[in-house]
Structure 1
């Protein structure tokens, strides 16, 4: 894909993703007002679902070891409702990754940052103080609150 066609694809995709995130934010506001329920995550279910990491692994961006780290060690940090919220919020990104390639490098960059934060957290038993760490916390909170709403719709 040429630089011009990648730029056009980004320009066309960005408004949709922005509106989608705004919609998810509104859902998360509703979820923030609900009684918080936590359900242990089912790692077999994580491995069976299409995720950003599974698509990147299929495209050979992520090694099998990196994919295993994400689907076992990182996934078990979160609960099932956060995972549901993640699948809902990032469904358009997963679709883009599956069907197009213009966003692969950018999404891979974000996934590597995500993995680096979790590796740091595992080694030092605390989160680093950085912009990406704050962004990660915000994203997890958004997914958790969206998952709370989704659980009430379909347990």
Structure 2
């Protein structure tokens, strides 16, 4: 990995991963080692949690496209070794929260994703991104579930 170029993000959001049954299979042990190591690393690198969770869904039958995508996280980590969150001492106590959802974007199943982030003053305090547990039939229901997740996160 030392000779590889760095990546600016842990995932390429233009590429939508699916089961990809036609692609070439890869060594399942090697793929699981990468995902397992990255899962361990998420304890201190919260910025890769979502990407590791997405790639971890394909551990039962990984394909070449999943393997290449998981290596992107390693390239991202190589370029962000010195990145850290920093909170100043003089910040305001105004809490601002944002929520969003994408309606049935996942190719593997028709579930939507809820995303929220909370700011204390102008500094990020927490964020949340998770696939919704139920299948919504409209975009307004998806947004309603996302707002519910946002309120739960605030509490």
Scaled by the length of structure 1, what TM-score is found? Answer: 0.31
Larger radius of gyration: 2
Higher relative contact order (CA 8 A, sep 6+): 1
Comparing both structures, which one devotes a greater share of its residues to helix? 1
Comparing both structures, which one devotes a greater share of its residues to strand? 2
